[in-house]
Amino acid sequence: MSCSIESYGDLFSLCDNVGLDSKKLVSINQVHSSKIISVKRAGHYESSDGIINIGGNLVCSIKVADCLPIYFINRISRTIGLVHAGWRGLSLGIINEYINNVKKNNERASDNYVFIGPSIKKCCFKIQSDVLSHFDSRFYSKINDKHYQVDLQKWAVNQIMNLNIKNDKIFVIDKCTYCNKDLYESFRRDGDAAGRMYALLGWLE
């Protein structure tokens, strides 16, 4: 689930309120990287943008405000994971890094279900030509000589499918964080005044 949170303390309350154990909570200091960590204990971890919990005995969390929250669920092994994927993370291969780390535990990519939560859509995500080289040309279109629109969701889905996860196991919430001011936080829309939304993932007892 994803929800707007005013303070880190509220995250613990939210966790308990939805039936997850806040004593098992894992959070990370996100830095727009491709670094994935595999965690065995609850706590706050530094400098990463993805969490793997082999066996699914913890509760994973990330914060977003336009970037893609990507949930990975393996019903067979019960391994779960969350990835914070902005354009930098996607260009650096963070989805591939997640699957590579899962495979180290002899798990198959194809056993994962993947859910992409609310994030900024092509209608509102615009870039300038100075960063264009970081993007896959199949997923952007030209607006004018300096500006392009990018479909981050389609780019992410393409990367996921290239890792042998079938389309019928991939689910995308078709809502734009920028457009839906009453529902979602958006850094591109509100700048430093923007709040953050937390994505939570764990197995209910």
Q: Give the tens place of pLDDT for each residue, 31-46.
A: 999 999 999 999 999 9
Look at residue 24 and give its three-state secondary structure.
helix
pLDDT at 29 over 90: yes
Query: Does residue 24 register a pLDDT over 90?
Result: yes
**Average pLDDT across the chain, whole number:** 94
* pLDDT tens-digit readout, 140-192: 999 998 999 999 999 999 999 999 999 999 999 999 999 999 999 999 999 99
User: What count of other Cβ atoms lies within 10 Å of the Cβ of residue 83?
Assistant: 29
- Cα separation, 144 vs 117, in Å, equals 30
- Contact residues for 180 (Cβ-Cβ < 8 A; gap 6+): 118
Domain ranges of the chain: 2-121+152-201
Looking at residue 4, what is its pLDDT?
A: 46
Write the CA distances from 13 to 18, 20, 21, 188, integer angstroms: 9, 10, 10, 28
Query: Looking at residue 56, what is its pLDDT?
Result: 97
**Per-residue pLDDT at 9:** 73
Q: List, in sequence order, every residue forming a beta bridge with 5; answer none if it has no partner.
A: 196
10 Å CB burial of residue 115 (0-12, 13-18, 19+) is middle
Contacts of 201 (CB under 8 A, 6+ apart): 59, 60, 61, 71, 73, 80, 81, 82
Q: Are 110 and 178 in contact (CB under 8 A)?
A: no
| pLDDT value of position 137 | 96
Strands 59-64 and 112-116: unpaired
pLDDT at 82 over 80: yes
* 69 to 6, 81, 142, 175: CA distances (angstroms): 18, 10, 26, 13
Q: How confident is the model at residue 199 (pLDDT cuts 50, 70, 90)?
A: very high
**Above 50 in pLDDT, residue 5?**
no
Whole-angstrom Cα distance, residue 135 to residue 165? 22
Question: Using the 8-state DSSP alphabet, how is residue 39 labeled?
Answer: -
Q: Tell me, what's the pLDDT at 3?
A: 45
pLDDT in tens, 98-114: 999 999 999 999 999 99
Q: Are 80 and 202 in contact (CB under 8 A)?
A: yes
Supply the pTM of this predicted model: 0.94
pLDDT at 2 over 50: no
Count of Cβ atoms closer than 10 Å to residue 9 Cβ: 9
Q: Could you tell me what percent of the chain has a pLDDT over 90? A: 92
Fold of 2-121+152-201: CNF1/YfiH-like putative cysteine hydrolases (3.60.140)
